[in-house]
Amino acid sequence: DGGITQSPKYLFRKEGQNVTLSCEQNLNHDAMYWYRQDPGQGLRLIYYSQIVNDFQKGDIAEGYSVSREKKESFPLTVTSAQKNPTAFYLCASSISPEETQYFGPGTRLLVL
């Protein structure tokens, strides 16, 4: 089955620690996205990538980093510079930036 997978489902971060969230898709989509979801605020775009080896900052990129070395993979690193990382993180992909986005199941990040 084609789809988007995110791992882990739950992730715990200690103070000063960097953590990496995985996003993989086998849909052959060129574009991939990372969103952050907080209660009552909808989703906000962190980073996006239109093609391999290229990515751009979204609305709330501070404290986050990404890479896009393979078409199928778009990992997100939450760095120690992100002071309020507790949230639900959603990865999405689309055939191209103009097409419909499809979402993964999400990763919930909690701070210890």
Is residue 79 classed exposed, middle or buried when 0-12, 13-18 and 19+ CB atoms within 10 A define those classes?
Answer: middle
Distance (Å, whole) CA 49 – CA 93: 9
Contact call for residue 80 and other proteins (CB under 8 A): no
Binding residues for other proteins restricted to 28-67, rule: CB under 8 A: 31, 33, 40-45, 48, 50, 56, 58
Those residues whose C-beta lies under 8 Å from the C-beta of residue 53, and which sit 6 or more positions away, are 68, 69
Range in contact with other proteins (rule: CB under 8 A) among 14-22, 65-73, 79-87, 97-105: 97-105
Q: Which residues contact other proteins (rule: CB under 8 A)?
A: 4, 6, 31, 33, 40-45, 48, 50, 56, 58, 90, 92, 94, 96-106, 108
